[in-house]
Structure 1
């Protein structure tokens, strides 16, 4: 099979690899789509960050060179001898969290913070390939009404959904950073009935898309001075500030904006991957602000399957391109690092370079029908 394999920073190669048959508790699937995530991009640009290089990851048993890709879906082609409830021909979305099932957090149901935390496609072999072998617990069978191009977006949508759950009940939210996860946070907040949703970013096209996905106000932060973006978001929330702000960039400026934008007693949810951030602890105490972190997700796929399959939620407006596996380096990773900002979510189709189909009844989808990227934008500035 063909697979996109990480050997080192700026060294991802589409090579031939053996298809590994499933073990007793595993399934083998033919990959339909795999999204390129900001985490993949960081591994390509200057990794390793999560990819195990020296020692194998304890849950996956894998180390570099490693097949990337953790946002994927496909059709089961074979199942292990101990697998029940799945069969060849089933269409599945992959929830790529590894879990041991035995540590205290797993026993408490919090498998996203398992002692052996990791993702297929970052700490183990993933879905940027024609075939992928994964533990059966990762595979969620899809009803007929859920198209595979939607299922490929369940992983970033799960990050957004888990962050909203971590933020708790809210009448008003601010979303700072409109990459795929930020935009899906806007979409899902609107679906959950949040009355006021303020979206902030430096990219006008992403701000316009956020408005179509449900943002009630948008804040263009391109010319914001220190603290000014946060004050604009606060003003858009009626002057009081947002109940919850979501930091979906991983930068000091975005955190400062979130803290300035939240009301007294409000909460900021850290979703972006910032290595080291600082804050004014006195102001945090005086305003009784809470900062909580959100990593991965748990128990989100069933809700997303219901929202898409039964309630008609469409995640696809964030998709801007569908490319072939052979083009994943040039039109995927390199384009996202070097482009001008017009790309949001790129899906890779191992089977064909054809574009995904979008329903003609959805105006948002029509406006964002995926095209081959001529000048793709940098992903990773916003998740």
Structure 2
């Protein structure tokens, strides 16, 4: 790509990041560069070019370093083109990105959410993917129409693009009812082909950036997204009519006496905390988890735990409930073997929330006993939901507030910190298999 007009001597001598922050904001047409390869700047920083005309315009990175998934199981550190910001966009310098189970599924070839218009998966070899959707960063530049975010402000990113992101009016039927994750035009950074957070910079609509009011650790702030997924799912759970409820006054009748959570990974541990500290559930809360580190955290957050390698969870649940079994089960493993055990863990007309993804090797015969139990079956996905008055994602605002007030502890989940983009390959190749691993974060 051709460089913009020559820089003045004083700007040319400053580091790339400082040059990016310089100047007032000028209008710029939106243009997506995709993942084309680009060179580096002479000083080794991100190559830049000038947006708009005049002496005070914004510089934004043309080429940035990114960890690119070029095929199943193969990540390469590359220089890629950065998306040019439009009037309603901001350029975010990425500071931290959480490693999600979805990232690992895509990396291993167990999932591909990048589809063509007919719903067919697009191979990575044809369209590589920059993973990473649990993102915290700093605003580096903003378009002329952006009035409520400024360079230097710290933000978390809602990776989902929807009607509000595109300023579409009227909203589609899903965005209009607060179900923006099912937007007719939905796309997702780091998952559906749009570049994700494992890069130096990311261009997003300004309404997809939620300001961080405190000096919170970026690695902690990045976990707003997974907590937002729990917030979104819990909202669906509490408003869906069912035989059993988590508390008086929510949808349902009798208050559940027992909740079983399958899996104490990050999702399961966030669910334990949300049930106890946010919803105030004080009934029996049982968590099945084979790893001692995760069981210890679940117990610390207020659950009783079951080691499925030492005892049969079905028997423990039966004994602890005196034969009633669980009125609510949250499946947070994505394991086909765990899925097969669900009919023996729950009470008739219980609520089953399928939260984990994967479920490979499922014997479909398990559907028959499930059907005879007549459960309320919920399958929520993602953190996107309704919108705040300024168009920003309400679930992210709520999740970030829970973290800021200390009502949900996400910091204790972080067991592995990867110090740079250069460490992304290692993060995917082995560290997550360590017995003490709970959650990894790449600090860019």
Superposition TM-score tier, normalisation by shorter sequence: 0.7 to 0.9
Query: Which residue of 134, 151, 166 maps to 2:236?
Result: 166
1:125 corresponds to 2:195: yes
Contact kept in structure 1, 2:273 and 2:408, CA below 8 Å: no
CA distance in 1 between counterparts of 2:73 and 2:366 reads 37
1:246-295 CA deviation, whole Å, 9 max, x = no partner? 11122232223333222222111011113564355554354332221111
What stretches of structure 1 of length at least 5 have no aligned partner?
58-62, 351-383
Write out aligned runs for 1:1-383 (5 A).
1-46=64-109, 49-52=112-115, 64-101=127-164, 102-123=171-192, 124-144=194-214, 146-168=216-238, 169-170=245-246, 171=256, 172-191=258-277, 192-195=279-282, 196-215=284-303, 217-223=304-310, 228-274=312-358, 277=362, 278=364, 280-281=366-367, 283-297=369-383, 298=385, 299-336=394-431, 339-350=433-444
CA distance in 1 between counterparts of 2:430 and 2:353 reads 30
Contact kept in structure 1, 2:219 and 2:443, CA below 8 Å: no
Structure of larger gyration radius = 2
State which drifts further: 25-34 or 112-121.
Answer: 112-121
Shift of 1:234: 3.9
Shift in alpha-carbon separation, 1:44–1:136, aligned structure 2, 3 A: same
1:28-71 CA deviation, whole Å, 9 max, x = no partner? 111110011111112211266124589999xxxxx822321100
Contact kept in structure 1, 2:414 and 2:439, CA below 8 Å: yes
CA distance in 1 between counterparts of 2:371 and 2:110 reads 37
Q: Give the 4+ runs in structure 1 shifted more than 4 A.
A: 52-57, 279-282
Contact kept in structure 2, 1:70 and 1:122, CA below 8 Å: yes
Shift of 1:214: 2.0
Contact kept in structure 1, 2:181 and 2:381, CA below 8 Å: yes
Shift of 1:6: 1.5
- Which structure carries more relative contact order (alpha carbon 8 Å, separation 6+)? 1
1:83-103 CA deviation, whole Å, 9 max, x = no partner? 232111211111112213532
Contact kept in structure 2, 1:322 and 1:348, CA below 8 Å: yes
Query: What is the match of residue 368 of structure 1?
Result: none
State which drifts further: 198-207 or 167-176.
Answer: 167-176
Shift in alpha-carbon separation, 1:198–1:76, aligned structure 2, 3 A: same
The TM-score with structure 1 as length reference comes to 0.81
What stretches of structure 2 of length at least 5 have no aligned partner?
1-63, 121-125, 165-170, 239-244, 247-255, 386-393
The TM-score with structure 2 as length reference comes to 0.70
